[in-house]
Structure 1
Amino acid sequence: MVPKNLQDASFTQSPDTAQTLMALMHAQSEVARLSEREQLFSSLLVSVNAVLWAFNWETRQVLYVSPAYERIFGRSAGSLLSDYNEWRDSIYPDDLDYAERSLAEVLVKGAVEDREYRIIAADGQVRWLSDKCFINRQAEPGQPVIIVGIAEDITEKKRMEAELQRLATTDVLTQSSNRRHFFECAQREFAQARKQGAPMAFLLLDIDDFKGVNDTYGHQAGDNVLQRIAESGRAALRRGDVFGRIGGEEFAAVFPGCAPDMAMQVAERLQWQIQQLSFSHDDQTFGITVSQGLTSLTPEDDSLDSVFARADAAMYEAKRQGKNRIISG
């Protein structure tokens, strides 16, 4: 009989018995070390905020998923292990085709490290995942293709990227496109219209006597005027039109696919809405007017600059003719 504590053995031992006891002691030590490693590994898996997974390509079976799956997806890991569609069905519908195609690319490339798609968690929240995947290269020839991967929740990163993009492209005061972003969009619409032979209109709008508003009622009142003009622009323009503040009291708009007569109708609607605006300051009420210059793309226009120059000239002509009007040039 072997003593309970192998190290306390005190009876006479044959060489074979001693070797056996030493082997058992070594095995006992190895088991302890392996147990410690397993506990450490399990602790690490619990603390990592990313989903580690393994997938059998032929059988479409999830072989392993780490504890973070339940935290990020809000779904049962057991259900996923029994049915791969638990993962597939959680993918945001618009991203499903891409997620499946990019997963299949790993069979050709061996690794796909730039997959980003959205999921709908069990609580209804939309989350972004960065899901890297690799073929298990240790598999023997003829063995099943096992894909392993790590899916990280990058929702907060995406939110911050969107906010930085908004700040870079938006006029802080009016929440419309800033000058740089407006002209980037306008240039893109111009190139598209030229390529497709489609109509496009360009509008410039300048607030009449805006300096007088600031001088008489103060800059806060002037800021309010700019904000209300921007609101009117967003309300009057069509879906897909581009609108932005390109100067102190100057705004611009691009109407893709818009014929001249339709563009004039949009400009007139905007003019009317601005004429209805009413502002108050220290028990005084005042209104504002704007001058607009409108033009449309012609076959001779080889750059956006020529379209802009024509709209600019038309706007200043509206000023010369008494303001509060639209001139088409």
Structure 2
Amino acid sequence: QEEIRHFAAELAVTNRRLQQVALTDPLTGFPNRRYAVDRMQQEWASSTRTWRPMCCMVIDIDQFKAVNDTYGHDVGDQVLSQGATAIKRSLRAQDVISRTGGDEFLVICPDTTMEAALVCAERIRRSVEIMSINVGDQVLRVTISVGVAVRDRTMSDPDVLIKRADESAYVAKAQGRNRVAALQIADASKSLLASVAGERG
């Protein structure tokens, strides 16, 4: 009986570790896309019950493909790892970050207004901008484009919120990169663009 209990306890620990590995990006240590989808659903449901504000951010590392092509994937991994550290350092306690793609991160911001999210996003942008990576005798500078979106009553599900943030990140890139943008759709025919521009890197 004692052996069975010991085996069951070890099995439970192993299963927890496997589950954690399955939900974690090995390079950055952040949760991965699978975790992000589940957590987004949870936060959306909570926001629906309480109707507290909810925002999300999509963060893209600027010209990441060019970094990989020019310096190689090892340097690309270094950019991702150090960039992730800089981003995490600038988040608030309630923010939830995950790596959802090659050079893309999603930040879920529960109980957060657009104004507060923009302040946080700008802090993240600056934190990455001042980062430097030594590559041989060169110093590599990295910047990010951040798209911010706030939940509104026209949104039917969390995918719409993420899509809005993704569109905003695209706008930030189109405006010259290294900036924060928030695209708010007022109705089907009008849009309001709010952006916080940073120094171009």
TM-score w.r.t. structure 1 length? 0.53
Deviations 1:144-176 (A, max 9, x none): xxxxxxx93454333212210111101111111
Q: Aligned match of 2:41 in 187, 191, 199?
A: 187
Q: 1:263 pairs with 99, 111, 117, which one?
A: 117
**How far does residue 310 in structure 1 lie from its aligned partner after superposition?**
1.0
Q: Percent identity?
A: 35
The correspondence for 1:283, drawn from 126, 131, 137, is 137
| Pairing of 1:78-93 with structure 2 (within 5 A) | none
- In structure 1, how many angstroms separate the alpha carbons of the residues matched to 2:179 and 2:115? 16
2:91 maps to 1:237: yes
Asked if 1:152 is matched to 2:5, the reply is: yes
How many residue pairs end up in the alignment? 182
Counterparts of 1:202 and 1:173, CA distance in 2: 22
Aligned-partner Cα distance in 2 for 1:231–1:158:
31
| Structure 2: distance between partners of 1:244 and 1:286 | 24
Larger Rg: 1
Aligned to 1:213, what secondary structure does the other structure show? helix
Following superposition of structure 1 onto structure 2, how do residues 63-212 of structure 1 map, counting pairs within 5 Å?
A: 152-153=5-6, 154-212=8-66
Match for residue 2 of structure 2? 49
Contact map agreement 1:201 1:259 (CA 8 A) in 2? yes
Partners of 1:233 and 1:289 in 2: CA distance: 11
CA RMSD of aligned residues (A): 1.5
TM-score by length of 2: 0.85
Q: 1:162 to 1:240 in 2, by over 3 A?
A: farther
Residue 169 of structure 2, aligned match among 311, 315, 325? 315
What is the CA–CA distance in structure 1 between the aligned matches of 2:108 and 2:18, rounded to whole Å? 24
> Which deviates the most, 154-163 or 222-231?
154-163
Q: Say which SS state the counterpart of residue 122 (structure 2) adopts.
A: helix
2:153 equivalent among 283, 294, 299: 299
Indicate which of 119, 122, 126 corresponds to 1:272: 126
d(CA) in 2 for partners of 1:309 and 1:293? 10
- Indicate conservation of the 8 Å contact 1:246/1:252, yes or no: yes
| Deviations 1:69-104, CA, capped at 9 Å, x for gaps | xxxxxxxxxxxxxxxxxxxxxxxxxxxxxxxxxxxx
The match for 2:68 among 210, 214, 225 is 214
1:2-41 to 2 correspondences below 5 Å: none
- Counterparts of 1:231 and 1:160 in 2: how far apart (Å)? 28
Q: SS state of the match for residue 188, structure 1?
A: helix
Residue 328 (structure 1) aligned with residue 186 (structure 2): no
Bigger RCO of structures 1 and 2 (CA < 8 A, at least 6 apart): 2
Inter-partner Cα distance in structure 2 for 1:266 and 1:178 = 21
- Residue type of the partner of 1:214? N
Equivalent residue, structure 1, for 2:193:
none
Paired letter, 1:277: M
Name stretches of at least 5 consecutive residues in structure 1 with no aligned partner: 1-47, 51-150
Measure how far apart 1:281 and its partner are.
1.2
Q: Secondary structure at the match of 1:152?
A: helix
Give the 3 Å change call, closer, same or farther, for CA 240–155 of structure 1 in structure 2: farther
Unaligned runs of 5+ in 2: 184-201
Asked if structure 2 preserves the Cα contact closer than 8 Å seen for 1:186 and 1:242, the reply is: no
